[in-house]
């Protein structure tokens, strides 16, 4: 259950302390439980912490008492662990927490210590993940595995050269089947080149999690703890992170810091492309025009930037791919509403504010690069104007209304950016022609 929470990719690494539920009274929590919702398990966890009985919760939710009893055991263990905040956690408690599915990151969060400290503590005790095969109906010896801290490792390892591919995790708007299909073809290409392909993904609805797509499939959440455990077991020549969308990119840096070799575009380059301030400086250096833009960590800063640039604006959170929480803002009122409702704005996670180019034609270029040269197979012209999410927009190849001189510029800019960023692998750039 704890593993499935980690797999959701909603910023939760365990059941406790979700939103503000732990600050609410037991009466409020019981009222919330009356209505089934996607947050019910988090509410129930805090209700148990506040003293709700199993019978009360059964009466309110009709969830079978056996399951509530299991959750109560987790709450009781967590309460014991919390007594050691700021102190060293006793060995037997750490071992029990890992056996009961508590993740390194969650333990670090509740004890207010770095995740790396928890990882080091448990590995020193010999507490590491082991793997078991998933029984696949009608298939003998399917290379399909899940991890556990409760049993010996039953999965062997070959001496063939191997490469790991990280999948995209759960499907959502902006990150779906197209990334999965990239991962599948990566696995096929690795097999053709003589490598053992190791797929890591946690979504049973995808092709990458079919047992015969890769040589080995680890059905695991895409978190640093789970991916590193597989990396340390299999000892591959490297990890490919660029085919699974934003999910693997988000953990690439931490994996590299822990000693994993990232194949292709480096985590530093990924970071540069996502840090709009540094990226803007690079565009200036290359002489490539960009709409006027700024970053803001508070509403006051956002209003100042807006005043300077002028409306309409395109606003979005930083470090987000796929157009989530992106909006065209036409006036001050809309901007205030966006900042208060749509996103959590912090100095670590500022919002990006760009001048919105009205009535601009949108085009995009896919490219493949090797660090010194880039090849652009085609430029796509969007039917809808710039500002419509590319997932909602139809496009045509080859372009029908973009003059040849603009296409030449797109090819040239794409090549310049790819070489400057030292991209190794795939890249996509969207252009607005105003």
How confident is residue 300, by pLDDT bands cut at 50, 70 and 90?
Answer: confident
> Could you give the CA distance from residue 273 to residue 153 in angstroms, rounded to a whole number?
40
Predicted pLDDT at 335: 84
Interval 129-135 mean pLDDT: 89
* Among the listed residues 358, 361, 355, 273, the one whose alpha carbon sits nearest the alpha carbon of residue 314: 355
Phi then psi for residue 345, to 5 deg, are: -95, 120
Which of 7-16, 71-80, 120-129 has the least mean pLDDT?
Answer: 7-16
> Could you give the CA distance from residue 21 to residue 48 in angstroms, rounded to a whole number?
12
Percent of the chain with pLDDT over 90: 60
* Among the listed residues 310, 306, 307, 344, the one whose alpha carbon sits nearest the alpha carbon of residue 325: 344
How confident is residue 198, by pLDDT bands cut at 50, 70 and 90?
Answer: very high
How confident is residue 321, by pLDDT bands cut at 50, 70 and 90?
Answer: low
255 within 8 A of 262, measured Cβ to Cβ:
yes
Which of 204-213, 252-261, 424-433 has the least mean pLDDT?
Answer: 204-213
* Alpha carbon distances (Å) from 41 to 3, 15, 63, 163, 406: 14, 7, 11, 37, 53
Predicted pLDDT at 71: 96
How confident is the model over 39-63, as pLDDT tens digits? 999 999 999 999 999 999 999 999 9
Residue 207: both structure tokens together: 């092709």
How confident is residue 292, by pLDDT bands cut at 50, 70 and 90?
Answer: confident
Predicted pLDDT at 324: 61
Residue 359: both structure tokens together: 């009535």
Q: Please state, as a whole number, how many other Cβ atoms lie within 10 Å of the Cβ of residue 104.
A: 25
How confident is the model over 147-176, as pLDDT tens digits? 999 999 888 889 999 999 999 888 877 677
For strand 424-433 and strand 374-385, is the pairing parallel, antiparallel, or unpaired?
Answer: unpaired
How confident is residue 84, by pLDDT bands cut at 50, 70 and 90?
Answer: very high
Please give the domain boundaries of the chain with CATH numbers for all domains.
2-124 (1.10.1030.10), 130-263 (3.40.50.20), 292-355 (3.30.1490.20), 361-433 (3.30.470.20)
Q: What is the mean pLDDT of the chain?
A: 89
Could you tell me which residue, 344 or 180, shows the higher pLDDT?
A: 180
How confident is residue 234, by pLDDT bands cut at 50, 70 and 90?
Answer: very high
């Amino acid at each position: 259950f704890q593993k499935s929470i980690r797999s959701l990719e909603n910023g939760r690494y365990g059941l406790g302390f979700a939103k503000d539920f732990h600050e609410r009274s037991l009466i409020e929590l019981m009222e919330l439980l009356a209505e089934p919702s996607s947050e019910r398990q988090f509410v129930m966890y805090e209700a148990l912490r506040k003293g709700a009985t199993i019978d009360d919760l059964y009466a309110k939710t009709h969830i079978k008492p056996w399951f509530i009893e299991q959750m109560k055991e987790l709450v009781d263990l967590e309460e014991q662990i919390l007594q050691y905040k700021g102190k060293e956690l006793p060995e037997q408690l750490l071992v029990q927490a890992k056996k009961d599915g508590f993740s390194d990151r969650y333990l670090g969060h509740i004890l207010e210590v770095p995740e790396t400290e928890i990882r080091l503590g448990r590995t020193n005790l010999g507490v590491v993940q082991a793997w078991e095969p998933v029984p696949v109906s009608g298939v003998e010896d399917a290379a399909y595995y899940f991890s556990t801290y409760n049993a010996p490792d039953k999965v062997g390892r070959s001496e063939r050269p191997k490469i790991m591919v990280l999948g995209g995790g759960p499907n959502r708007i902006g990150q779906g089947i197209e990334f999965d299909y990239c991962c599948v073809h990566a696995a096929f290409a690795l097999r053709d080149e003589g490598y053992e392909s190791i797929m890591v993904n946690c979504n049973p609805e995808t092709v990458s999690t079919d047992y015969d797509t890769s040589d080995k499939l680890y059905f695991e959440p895409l978190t640093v703890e789970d991916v590193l455990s597989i990396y340390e077991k299999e000892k591959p020549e490297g990890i490919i992170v660029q085919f699974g969308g934003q999910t693997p990119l988000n953990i690439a840096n931490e994996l590299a810091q822990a000693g994993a070799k990232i194949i292709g575009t480096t985590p530093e380059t990924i970071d540069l492309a996502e840090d709009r301030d540094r990226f803007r400086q690079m565009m200036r250096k290359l002489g490539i025009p960009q709409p006027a833009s700024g970053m803001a960590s508070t509403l006051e800063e956002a209003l100042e930037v807006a005043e300077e640039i002028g409306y309409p604006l395109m606003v979005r959170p930083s470090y987000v791919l796929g157009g989530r929480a992106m909006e065209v803002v036409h006036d001050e009122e809309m901007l205030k509403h966006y900042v208060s409702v749509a996103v959590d704005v912090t100095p670590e996670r500022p919002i990006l504010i760009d001048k919105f180019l009205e009535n601009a034609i949108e085009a995009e270029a896919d490219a493949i690069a090797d660090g010194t040269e880039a090849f652009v197979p085609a430029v796509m012209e969007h039917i809808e104007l710039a500002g419509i999410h590319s997932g909602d927009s139809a496009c045509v190849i080859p372009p029908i209304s973009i003059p040849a001189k603009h296409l030449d510029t797109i090819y040239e800019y794409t090549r310049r950016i790819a070489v400057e960023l030292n991209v190794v692998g795939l890249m996509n750039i969207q252009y607005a022609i105003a």
